[in-house]
Chains A and B, each alone.
Chain A
Amino acid sequence: MSGGPEASDELGMRLKTYEGRAAAVAGQGKDPVNLPMIRHWCEAMGDTNPAYEGPDAMAPPTMLQAWTMGGLSGHSGRSAAFDELLGLLDEAGCTSVVATDCEQEYVRALRPGDEVTFDTVIESVSERKTTKLGTGYFVTTRTDVRAGPDRALAGTHRFRILKYAPAARSRPQEQPRRPRPVVNRDNAGFWEGVEQHRLLIQRCTSCTTLRFPWLPGCNACGALDWDTLEASGEGTVYSYVVMHHPPFPAFDPPYAVALVELAEGVRMISNVIGTPYDKVHIGLPVHLEFQRYDDELVLPVFRAREEVA
C-alpha cells in the first residue's frame, strides 16, 4: 500500500500547509440570480413558499451555494492552490469525494438580477481519517458570497468534504473454486473411478501396454480396445516444479506440482500434499489419497510415505 493514504501521514502534513490559502478568488456566478433557476429549485424541493415567487421574489436562502456552482463547464476563479490540494489527494488514491457538512449563514436576501461573486478560503484540512467509506481527509472551505453593485455580503457558506480512497466493498467473497475437469467419452471411465476413490489405469487389451492419461487408442500398437487396472497407489516423485507465479484462483502459491511415477510404471501429474513445497524432491516415495476440494470435486493427490522434515 505504499503511496496510498495508509502509507504515512507525510501527506497530511503537506496538506496542512494549504490551510488559510485561497481556494477561489473573485469567482463569478455563472448566471445572475434569476427566476427560472429559482423556480426549478422550488419545483425540485417541493417548496411553494410565496416569498420565492412573483416580482418581489427572493431566492431561497438555501440556494446560496447553487449560485456559485461551476456546473458542467467548470469552476471560475478556482485557485491553483486548491487544484494542487485536490491533485495531491487524487494522487494518493483519495479520488472519491463526499460532502459531509454544510453550514450557511444568510446575511442578505438574494434577488433576481443580483450578480454573485465569491471568495473561498481553505479553512482546514483534517488529519487522515478512516471512515466507513474509506480512508481520507476532510477538507473544509469557507466561501463568502457577495452580490449586487456594492458587493455586499449576502452570506457565508462553510463546506466540508471527505476526499477518500474507497474502502474495498465488503461484499461476501465467494470462495474461489478449483477448475472443473473436462470429462468426455474418452476419459469418463477415469473420473468414474475417481468418484469411487479408485485410480484406474488404461490397459490395451491387445498388447497389454498401460497408458495414462486416458486416450482413445494404444500408443504402442494402435488398438482401440482397452480395460483398466486399478493402481496400487504407490509411487515416487519422478520430477516436479514449484509454482510461484502467476497465482490462480483457489491455488495458494508457492506449491509443488509433481510428476509421480506410479508403481505400475505410468506417470501422472498431481500435487504432493502435506509436504512443504521446498521439501518435495525427485525420488520422494509417495502414496495415493483422494482429496475432496468442494461438494463436487474429488481429486487424486499424493502424500509423502514418511514425514519429511
Chain B
Amino acid sequence: MSRQVRAGEQLPPLEIPITRTLIVAGAIASRDYQDVHHDAELARQKGSPDIFMNILTTNGLVGRYITDHFGPTAVLRKVAIRLGAPNYPGDTMVLTGTVEEVTEETDAVTATATATVKVVGANGIGRHVTGTVTVTVSVPSGGAR
C-alpha cells in the first residue's frame, strides 16, 4: 500500500462541480450558518451575486484532494490556504497540486516521506484557493534512494 513520492510530481487534477447543494452541505457540516453560504437573497443584499462556498469547505476539499491522492497511509500535518475568487453555484473548481519538497525518514521497519504540496483550485473566475499542504505518507523502505 505504499508508493514513492518525488518532488516535482504533479497530482492528477480533481474537478469539483460547485453545486448549491455542495455549498450548503459543506457550510452546515462545518457548522457555519453565515447567511451568505445558504441564503441567496441575503447574500445579494450584502453585495455578493449569489451564495458562495465557505472557507471550511474549501479546506476540507483540499484535504480530501491530498489524502485521495496519497492513499490510506497519508496523514495530514498542515493545511494552509488562502482564498481568492469565490466559488459560486454553477461553477467548477479544478484542484491541481505539485509536490514541492520531500523529506524521508527511515528506520529498520518503516519509511515515511513528508511531502509539501502546492495546491491551486481554479474556477471560472480565477483562483479560488492557493495553498500548501504538508502530508506524511509511508513509502517503500529505501525506495526513493
Complex-state Cα separation, A44 to B32, whole angstroms: 13
A100 to chain B, nearest CB (A): 6
Chain A residues with Cβ below 8 Å from B59 are 62, 65, 102, 104
Among B31, B47, B75, contact of A66 (Cβ-Cβ < 8 Å): B31
User: CB-defined interface of A86-105 with B at 8 Å, one 1/0 digit per residue?
Assistant: 00000000001111111111
B82 to chain A, nearest CB (A): 5
User: CB-defined interface of B43-63 with A at 8 Å, one 1/0 digit per residue?
Assistant: 000110000001111011111
Chain B residues with Cβ below 8 Å from A40 are 25, 28-29
Instruction: For chain B, residues 31 to 81, give those with C-beta under 8 angstroms from any C-beta of chain A.
Output: 31-34, 46-47, 54-57, 59-64, 67-68, 72, 75-81
Interface pair A44/B47, CB less than 8 Å apart: no
Chain A residues with Cβ below 8 Å from B75 are 61, 106
> How many residues of chain B are within 8 Å of chain A by beta carbon?
35
- By secondary structure, the B interface counts as mixed
Chain B residues with Cβ below 8 Å from A51 are 67, 72
Report the interface size class on chain A.
35 or more
Indicate whether A3 reaches chain B with its CB closer than 8 angstroms.
no
Interface pair A44/B60, CB less than 8 Å apart: yes
Interface pair B22/A62, CB less than 8 Å apart: no
Indicate whether B83 reaches chain A with its CB closer than 8 angstroms.
yes
Interface pair A102/B81, CB less than 8 Å apart: yes
Which of A37, A62, A169 has the most chain B CB atoms inside 10 A of its CB?
Answer: A62
Interface pair A105/B77, CB less than 8 Å apart: yes
Indicate whether B26 reaches chain A with its CB closer than 8 angstroms.
yes
Indicate whether A249 reaches chain B with its CB closer than 8 angstroms.
no
In the complex formed, the residue of A with least CB distance to B24 is A44
A105-B31 contact, Cβ under 8 Å, with A44-B57, A45-B61: no
Chain A residues with Cβ below 8 Å from B62 are 62
Interface pair A49/B64, CB less than 8 Å apart: yes
A49 to chain B, nearest CB (A): 5
A162 to chain B, nearest CB (A): 10
Indicate whether B110 reaches chain A with its CB closer than 8 angstroms.
no
Indicate whether A54 reaches chain B with its CB closer than 8 angstroms.
no
B89 to chain A, nearest CB (A): 15
Among A62, A97, A103, contact of B60 (Cβ-Cβ < 8 Å): A62
Interface pair A99/B83, CB less than 8 Å apart: yes
Complex-state Cα separation, A69 to B31, whole angstroms: 6
Indicate whether A72 reaches chain B with its CB closer than 8 angstroms.
yes
Complex-state Cα separation, A70 to B33, whole angstroms: 9
Interface pair A71/B31, CB less than 8 Å apart: yes
Complex-state Cα separation, A66 to B32, whole angstroms: 8
Interface pair B63/A43, CB less than 8 Å apart: no
Indicate whether B30 reaches chain A with its CB closer than 8 angstroms.
yes
Using a CB–CB cutoff of 8 Å, the interface residues on chain A facing chain B are: 30, 37, 40-41, 43-47, 49-51, 60-63, 65-66, 69-72, 96-106, 133-134, 166-167, 169
Using a CB–CB cutoff of 8 Å, the interface residues on chain B facing chain A are: 16, 22, 25-26, 28-34, 46-47, 54-57, 59-64, 67-68, 72, 75-83
Counting from the closest, the 7 A-B pairs by CB-CB distance are: A69-B31, A62-B63, A103-B80, A44-B25, A99-B55, A44-B29, A47-B64
16 new A-B contacts at CB < 8 Å, known A41-B60, A69-B32, A96-B46: A44-B30, A45-B57, A45-B63, A50-B72, A61-B76, A62-B60, A62-B62, A63-B60, A66-B29, A71-B31, A99-B54, A99-B83, A100-B82, A102-B81, A103-B78, A106-B78
